[in-house]
Structure 1
């Protein structure tokens, strides 16, 4: 493996780790009372969103390990609290990806991406959903500016019009002077000023 490739892989995994750390902070504010709230993801409750994040994390694990996980493995232990299930899966993702050193192409939906690319795409998904969770629970938890800038660059690379409206909503307009987080959220179909539920 070349040094250049190793650096790219390390950067992709490091970004995924930072995205997961951010989202783990958002999960701390989830309570049973918030699970039925609407989220910035149109048509989804917080419970539905957390189930989606669990699926995304397990897809990342599958991509890194090359095999499928048993989906109901921890369902009983975390019954009634999907945030705990997300937390446990996120912790496992960190461990699995930390040991990923290959440069094989990994099939994701209809595309084949390298390991660093998969980690980067995962970082976009996990970080933005961490923002969704926080806003749904009435918290202001901005995505760290540097991470938001990196994710925005990657989102513009990986998210195309073909992904809309099925995987992402229509792009929202924000002022040119808005922070990177707002541009990232808007590019992925979210209103950065989405009102948190009371």
Structure 2
């Protein structure tokens, strides 16, 4: 089976996984466009996202309190496995029904949150490590829809920074990044 969420995840996840695989060990201490995270911190956060959103698809509670360092032997392969598992979890149509007991949001919105995390944090890692990452139009459009619904709340809760204005020629991905508090022109030298 598949859902719109799992289909979009199938489009963006391989791009994020490729960026993660491209991170070298000597880059783990570098800053990222997400000011609270180094590359290592962001990789650990993305690992937690992949694991916790599996449970959220099944309406289980998520535990964001752990600060475990997942970057041990074979971490790139383990991340790819967890991403495959999260896509599979969101492939069940029941994952999109009703509201999330742990998040208090419609399950569809929770799925979109996962999509935004993999897209934006994948871009964060790519930019921080000198890689390139783009996103398919459908993924970006869904991200904008999510920000229309949840952007202000996310800013109040500290999940997103203040919006960064983008110029008229900005791509849809750049506009999405700006809406999440990122400067699409960020480079490690501006950190």
TM-score (norm 2): 0.82
| SS of aligned partner of 2:90 | helix
Q: How does 1:25-44 map to 2 (within 5 A)?
A: 25-44=18-37
Of the three residues 167, 186, 189, the one matched with 2:181 is 189
Give per-residue Cα distances to partners, 1:36-70, cap 9 Å, x unaligned. Answer: 10011103111100111111122211112344699
Structure-2 change in CA distance of 1:186 and 1:55 (3 Å): same
Of the three residues 118, 135, 145, the one matched with 2:110 is 118
1:170 is matched with: 162
In structure 2, C-alpha distance between the alignment counterparts of 1:70 and 1:164, rounded to whole Å: 21
| SS of aligned partner of 2:3 | helix
Question: Which structure: larger Rg?
Answer: 1
Give per-residue Cα distances to partners, 1:146-166, cap 9 Å, x unaligned. Answer: 432332222222221553461
On the 8 A contact 1:78/1:85 being kept in 2, the answer is: no
Of the three residues 101, 109, 118, the one matched with 1:107 is 101
2:141 maps to 1:152: no
1:131 is matched with: 123
In structure 1, C-alpha distance between the alignment counterparts of 2:102 and 2:148, rounded to whole Å: 17
| SS of aligned partner of 2:100 | strand
TM-score (norm 1): 0.80
Structure-2 change in CA distance of 1:108 and 1:181 (3 Å): farther
Structure-2 change in CA distance of 1:117 and 1:70 (3 Å): closer
On the 8 A contact 1:50/1:83 being kept in 2, the answer is: no
Number of residue-to-residue matches in the alignment: 185
RMSD of aligned Cα (Å):
2.9
In structure 1, C-alpha distance between the alignment counterparts of 2:38 and 2:152, rounded to whole Å: 26
| SS of aligned partner of 2:106 | strand
On the 8 A contact 2:62/2:102 being kept in 1, the answer is: no
1:14 is matched with: 7
2:116 maps to 1:87: no
- Which one has a larger percent strand, Structure 1 or Structure 2? 1
1:3 is matched with: none
On the 8 A contact 2:47/2:82 being kept in 1, the answer is: yes
